[in-house]
Structure 1
Amino acid sequence: MLDLLSGLAAPRLAELAAAHLPDAPAPVDRRELAAALMDPATVTGTVAVLSLPELQVAEALSLRAAGTRRTDLAHLLGVPAGDADLSLVLGRLEWHALAWPDEGWIRTAPIHEVIVGGYGFGPSARIELAQLPLDRLQRIAYNLDAPVGRDRAGLLDGICAALADAATVRAAFAAAPEATRDLLLSIADEPFYFDPRQMGALRTNRPTPLRWAVDHGLVMWNPAGMAAVLPSEVGVVLREGFRADFDPAPPLQVPVEVSAEMVRRDGAAAVRVALAQVTALLETCGREPVPMLKDGGVGTRELRRLGKAIGGDPLDMRLWLTLAGVSGLIGVTDNRVAPSAYYDDWLKLDPPAQYGELLTAWLVMDAAPLDTGAPALLRTERDEAVSVLRRSLVSLLNGLPDGYALPSLDGINALQMYMRPLLTGPEPQEAYPTTAMLWRELELMGVGALHAPTGLCRALAAEAGLDGTPRHPALRAELERLIPAAQRTVLLQSDLTAVATGAPAASLAALLDLTADRESRGGGHTWRFSEASVRRAFDRGSSAEELLAALREAATGGRVPQPLQYLVTDLARRHGALRVRPVACVLRSDDPALLAELPRVRSLAGLGLTELAPTVYASVLPVAETLAALRAAGYAPAGEHADGTIAFDRVTKHRVLPSHPDQDRS
């Protein structure tokens, strides 16, 4: 691995680290990166995302831990040594840092530790040899003519290198006694061998056919275990007629012609609807935070309520909520979902930038929001796999030429199974629900339409880096083509409506949402002014002059229709004619002079007394506290009921039922 990395430039090393170690600290140098890439955990993650032919070749390579000759690999796969498809797949495995060429050999990362028992073979010799004592290793190395004068690691490398060479294994087999050859052939298809008599002979070092095979590394046996094992390096040679599967061509799916204009139209419409619904959802959550279930997530009832509020499908609400969450636009407080502080900054972006952030988060999010098996915003086991499958589907769709689509969702599912077999599962009916779920996401996001790629799909595929994160320039250009610039003005009409033909700027939307009620959103936005909506603006502190000035600035042509002007000025004249103030209690007296002196008493300043009438004053404190303050100041007030009768203080005497200890005994 270190030899492979030594020939790579810094940008390629950075790509490898980003692709295979996204959550790990950046390796300091090639040696650290090599160690990380050789970690079985890293190899496991990489193998999981291989396509079918890549996985098939990796499985064939896993049979020999120390590497495989290119000619032996081609023979095993049933293709010529120079086969172009094999070269292409090996190039992809090298790109994944799983395999690389080395003077006629193909060296590998520890795939043998991840893919074990492939095609019914036993585990690799390296796995079994690691458990043997040093003297046993030295004996095997000597019999295989491998270097003996080494440390334990060197012995392991030497033995595995010898067994990886098919010619060495054939020579050892040919030199074996006839009884040993018969035994080896009998267990070639059953790698685990157990015979009590043979096991007993091994423990006493008696010469037997099995003992010869063990001493020459053709069979592995650990005294601590029960059975002997035919390692995969030997098994693959003894099964002379065996051929591993190799399917370099994807399942045939003949593309069908589709109207490019319809694809463009449907994709663009989906983008505008998606942005409008996410915005509306966030506004709704801001007005009334969404309660979460006791065990977490947002339940079906709330999803239906949200869908009804913004005119969308409750199932789609799952995607919009998740998108808002992974974009940092919502958070949870007191077990309720509400917009985050970042939401206000997001609103200030122009619509293409807003949707760009949503799309970026969607492409790489580890979430399956349309999986109805769990509440919305609750993680499920399939989330991480879905992230890879989503990007795979975008890549798959991008491979179609313009004006063509895949014939059906079944065809898309078949290709997804070919692209990511370990993530989809081996059976079409097992993979189909996830494929259908992801295709619905692509349609909702405007990335796919009519089983064909949209321009947004092209931009995503072209701009996505190795880690799947879209880079913005080309994506931004496509979004600006799809989403009109934010409307800075609005058409004010005589029927007291305001119409914006595109998405309104944040400041314009804020003004209209304050002064009018929104009636529709989507491609166009409509608001209606009413007494109640204009009163709302006055209640927030606006004056008629300020409101009309703001509306003139926002109006197309700078003109406010006369009916709207009249509504604003008439309501402004009446607004506040009747005032309501909070009062904790009132003080009443038939002696105005007595009441008039109270505000001048310093000790009563905390009552915040206000004259309502010559004989009535208001206090900011409740009755009991006001009475106590007046009495402390030397006055003799009395409480009063609402009907005007005096409220006398009564002493409360507490009583309880008697206890009977004898009755409590059991």
Structure 2
Amino acid sequence: METPQILQVASLLTLPQLQVVEVLSLRAAGTRRRDLARALGVVADDPLLAAALGAVLDSGLARIDEDDSDWIRTVALHEVIANGYGFGRAAEHELRYLPLEQLQRIAFELGAPVGRDHGRLVKAIGAALADPDVVREQFRAAPRVAQDIMLDLASGEPFYSDPHAMMALRNGRRASPLRWAVDHGLLIFNAYYGAAISMPSEVGAALRPDFRAGFDPSPPAPQSVPVSAEMVDREGSAAARSALASVTALLEECGRTPVPILKAGGIGLREVRKLARALATDEEGVRFWLTVAGMNGLIGIAGDRVAPSAEFDNWLKLEPNDQFGWLVEGWFQMPAAPLLLDGRPALVGSEHDGTSALLRVTMAAVLASLRTGRGAAGIEGLATMLAYLRPLVAGDAEEAVPMVEALWREYELMGVGAHHAPTALCHALAEGDQDRLAAALRDFLPAAQETVLLQSDLTAVATGTPSAALSALLDLAADRESRGGGYTWRFTEPSVRRAFDAGCTAEELIARIRAAAAGGRVPQPLEYLVADLGRKHGNVRVRTVGCVLRSDDVALLGEIRSVRSLARLELTELAPTVLSSALSPSETLAALRHAGYVPAAENPDGTIAFERPTRHRADMPSAGVDPGS
């Protein structure tokens, strides 16, 4: 198993399982069951130890030796979990840097097989030192001075750096007491690379008489409080509807005005605040919804700006429960922690991202384990449970609090938790039950509304989530005023004019509004507003003109209008002596000349604009520069 894989597997261990692994890592060549139990302070046949060890064996981080069922061998844990409990590195790690002759001498003194294969020598010596009885026997035979030094190293820092002692070792003086310990592998000294003498973890663990590793096989029982399951689901449903509306509104706003990206990446605080003002929400919400949308493929990069992706249009066509299902499943597994605010721009990752998905999933399991009608007493209780279930990722209970606070806020925003209790969505996610999740989503987000209630104050109210078609119509002809539990639009002169400018006629707009109105009822004030603006719309029209042609010769202008080769000018009579052209002055002059006419450009004051030839000249070369270069 490679180091990244070992870390990945170890991140899934609970606290007692990790404690077992930490003790096993002290002996690279393996550990006897009785030595493992002694280090953990329990008897060898302790059932809780057996359960924790069984989980470690199932994870693949350790295995039972084929020839000796009492011997537990591990993958390269000593390379990943090092210097635990104040001990040094494992013997195999330290021995690999020693020359062959030194390894041969250590193997000989320990009674291990002696050969010329460097790797086998390292393994053989490591296996000998992994047996505490061998280490203690060698220690008893050591000179008294060496014993005192080794006891100090076992109980304190596992490094010894006396310059005189190391000089004696470098000079090969075998009379040194430390030379005896080095030759027997109880201490490691590399004359070429070592700046200090070190004690392998196998030796330290055997010589520290009072060594006991922590072992906490019983999970903590955080306090819980009564809470209404119906109230929790009701608030979760409201949060889910608000979440869906927030994501939709945010992406529509980004579609209207794509958001610029900082040169260093991400969306800066200024743009986040601008979006928050436009959506009447807070900066935390904008950061979170941008990340959720991005992780679900609903936004993309357009040049140097963020805008909705093409997938957003497909997403809009889904029913509300399917839209939110898309979001919540992506959120649950997303490797991002956007609410751990640390000054980062939005959409920029952090060191917390890699572990956030695992902790998010673990929190769902913690909440789902609460009895029905109960919620956690507070964030600290949830942090305690996460620290127990995923200690390698969460750290201890105190260290876990900031991450748990950020994740809990996500749970509230997504409607997965309320009052520190799980909603129906949380139970479905924790179980990985797609059918239960689909049912919860249908309960939380009913089918989209196809009609809206129109009121005499020119407002339109949808009590549920409006369909994409209904939203498109109302966003075209009215202005949104609120989102969340209910949606409100207001018809105004500018909003109705916006619909006319998009190509609607008064008759067509009223017909579409009536089709979308509950009961087909359109209040009279709204009909009057649409009809009145419909009569006025287009009374004054604005046309794009590239330039105008002017001549006192009316017949000449009439002739020019009839020339086929000049059709691309789109000439229109503005007055008997004035024609408009759709092209620019230079293009129009060129076209007229190509048709055989002799036009002239005109200044704003009516005088002829003379076209003087432009002569380009190069600057004089500076002194010392060769003009021909």
TM-score under structure 1 normalisation?
0.84
SS in 2 for 1:158: helix
Q: 2:158 maps to which residue?
A: 191
Find the aligned partners of 2:580 and 2:520 in 1 and give their Cα distance: 47
Find the aligned partners of 2:379 and 2:541 in 1 and give their Cα distance: 64
Q: 2:352 maps to which residue?
A: 382
Find the aligned partners of 2:600 and 2:39 in 1 and give their Cα distance: 105
What is the CA deviation profile of residues 513-572 of structure 1, one whole-angstrom value per residue up to 9, with x for unaligned ones?
122222222122122334433332232223445434433443333454555445445544
Q: 2:554 maps to which residue?
A: 592
What is the CA deviation profile of residues 235-259 of structure 1, one whole-angstrom value per residue up to 9, with x for unaligned ones?
2111122111222334452212222
| Aligned mate of 2:327, from 358, 367, 370 | 358
| CA pair 218-616 structure 1, distance change in 2 beyond 3 A | same
Give yes or no for the alignment of 1:74 onto 2:27.
Answer: no
After the TM superposition, which residues 30-69 of structure 1 pair with which residues of structure 2 at under 5 Å, given as runs?
Answer: 38-48=1-11, 50-69=13-32
SS in 1 for 2:489: strand
Q: 1:88 maps to which residue?
A: 51
Give yes or no for the alignment of 1:278 onto 2:247.
Answer: yes
Question: Which stretch shows the higher mean deviation, 646-655 or 523-532?
Answer: 646-655
Shift of 1:313: 1.6
| CA pair 633-417 structure 1, distance change in 2 beyond 3 A | same
8 Å CA contact 2:169–2:176 kept in 1: the answer is yes
Q: 1:19 maps to which residue?
A: none
Q: 2:383 maps to which residue?
A: 413
Find the aligned partners of 1:208 and 1:387 in 2 and give their Cα distance: 56
| Aligned mate of 1:519, from 463, 481, 485 | 481
8 Å CA contact 1:638–1:646 kept in 2: the answer is no
Q: 2:372 maps to which residue?
A: 402
Aligned partner letter, 2:360? R
Shift of 1:202: 6.5
What is the CA deviation profile of residues 112-162 of structure 1, one whole-angstrom value per residue up to 9, with x for unaligned ones?
112222122121110112122334333333443334457333333332222
Shift of 1:185: 3.5
Shift of 1:198: 6.5
Q: 2:627 maps to which residue?
A: none
What is the CA deviation profile of residues 80-118 of structure 1, one whole-angstrom value per residue up to 9, with x for unaligned ones?
212233223223333443223441222222111122221
What is the CA deviation profile of residues 155-174 of structure 1, one whole-angstrom value per residue up to 9, with x for unaligned ones?
33332222222233334344
Shift of 1:205: 5.5
Find the aligned partners of 1:457 and 1:574 in 2 and give their Cα distance: 55
| CA pair 653-146 structure 1, distance change in 2 beyond 3 A | closer
Find the aligned partners of 2:257 and 2:430 in 1 and give their Cα distance: 38
Aligned residues: 615
Shift of 1:280: 0.7
Aligned partner letter, 1:272? R
| Aligned mate of 2:231, from 242, 262, 268 | 262
| CA pair 94-508 structure 1, distance change in 2 beyond 3 A | farther
SS in 2 for 1:338: strand
SS in 1 for 2:580: strand
Aligned partner letter, 2:32? R
Find the aligned partners of 1:312 and 1:180 in 2 and give their Cα distance: 70
After the TM superposition, which residues 15-30 of structure 1 pair with which residues of structure 2 at under 5 Å, given as runs?
Answer: none
8 Å CA contact 1:90–1:100 kept in 2: the answer is no
Aligned partner letter, 1:114? V
| CA pair 209-534 structure 1, distance change in 2 beyond 3 A | same
Q: 1:170 maps to which residue?
A: 136
After the TM superposition, which residues 494-573 of structure 1 pair with which residues of structure 2 at under 5 Å, given as runs?
Answer: 494-573=456-535
Aligned partner letter, 1:155? L
TM-score under structure 2 normalisation?
0.88
What is the CA deviation profile of residues 275-313 of structure 1, one whole-angstrom value per residue up to 9, with x for unaligned ones?
111111111111112223343322333222222222212
SS in 1 for 2:154: coil
**Can you give the 5+ residue segments of structure 1 that lack an aligned partner in the other structure?**
1-37, 464-470
Find the aligned partners of 1:653 and 1:89 in 2 and give their Cα distance: 89
8 Å CA contact 1:198–1:208 kept in 2: the answer is no
Give yes or no for the alignment of 1:434 onto 2:403.
Answer: yes
Q: 2:291 maps to which residue?
A: 322
Find the aligned partners of 2:325 and 2:81 in 1 and give their Cα distance: 39
Q: 1:107 maps to which residue?
A: 73
Q: 1:223 maps to which residue?
A: 191
Q: 1:212 maps to which residue?
A: 180
Find the aligned partners of 1:91 and 1:547 in 2 and give their Cα distance: 71
Question: Which stretch shows the higher mean deviation, 445-454 or 288-297?
Answer: 288-297
Shift of 1:317: 1.0
Aligned partner letter, 1:646? T
Shift of 1:56: 2.3
**Can you give the 5+ residue segments of structure 2 that lack an aligned partner in the other structure?**
624-629
Question: Which stretch shows the higher mean deviation, 453-462 or 215-224?
Answer: 215-224
| Aligned mate of 1:332, from 301, 326, 334 | 301
8 Å CA contact 2:28–2:74 kept in 1: the answer is yes
Q: 2:424 maps to which residue?
A: 455
Aligned partner letter, 2:158? P
Aligned partner letter, 1:587? L
| CA pair 582-177 structure 1, distance change in 2 beyond 3 A | closer
After the TM superposition, which residues 612-651 of structure 1 pair with which residues of structure 2 at under 5 Å, given as runs?
Answer: 612-640=574-602, 645-649=606-610, 651=612
Find the aligned partners of 1:372 and 1:462 in 2 and give their Cα distance: 33
RMSD (Å), alpha carbons: 3.1
Find the aligned partners of 1:202 and 1:315 in 2 and give their Cα distance: 62
| CA pair 223-449 structure 1, distance change in 2 beyond 3 A | same
After the TM superposition, which residues 299-314 of structure 1 pair with which residues of structure 2 at under 5 Å, given as runs?
Answer: 299-314=268-283
8 Å CA contact 2:480–2:490 kept in 1: the answer is yes
| CA pair 588-227 structure 1, distance change in 2 beyond 3 A | closer
Aligned partner letter, 1:550? R
Find the aligned partners of 1:79 and 1:256 in 2 and give their Cα distance: 35
Question: Which stretch shows the higher mean deviation, 67-76 or 530-539?
Answer: 530-539
What is the CA deviation profile of residues 432-467 of structure 1, one whole-angstrom value per residue up to 9, with x for unaligned ones?
33332222222111222112222222111111xxxx
Find the aligned partners of 2:71 and 2:374 in 1 and give their Cα distance: 42
What is the CA deviation profile of residues 206-251 of structure 1, one whole-angstrom value per residue up to 9, with x for unaligned ones?
2554333333332323222243322111221111221112223344
Find the aligned partners of 2:353 and 2:371 in 1 and give their Cα distance: 30
| CA pair 264-177 structure 1, distance change in 2 beyond 3 A | same
| CA pair 613-182 structure 1, distance change in 2 beyond 3 A | closer
Q: 1:24 maps to which residue?
A: none
| CA pair 199-78 structure 1, distance change in 2 beyond 3 A | farther
Shift of 1:319: 0.4
8 Å CA contact 2:603–2:609 kept in 1: the answer is no
Find the aligned partners of 1:276 and 1:372 in 2 and give their Cα distance: 27
**Any runs of at least 4 consecutive aligned residues in structure 1 with deviations exceeding 6 A, and if so which?**
652-656
What is the CA deviation profile of residues 318-342 of structure 1, one whole-angstrom value per residue up to 9, with x for unaligned ones?
1011111111111232422211111
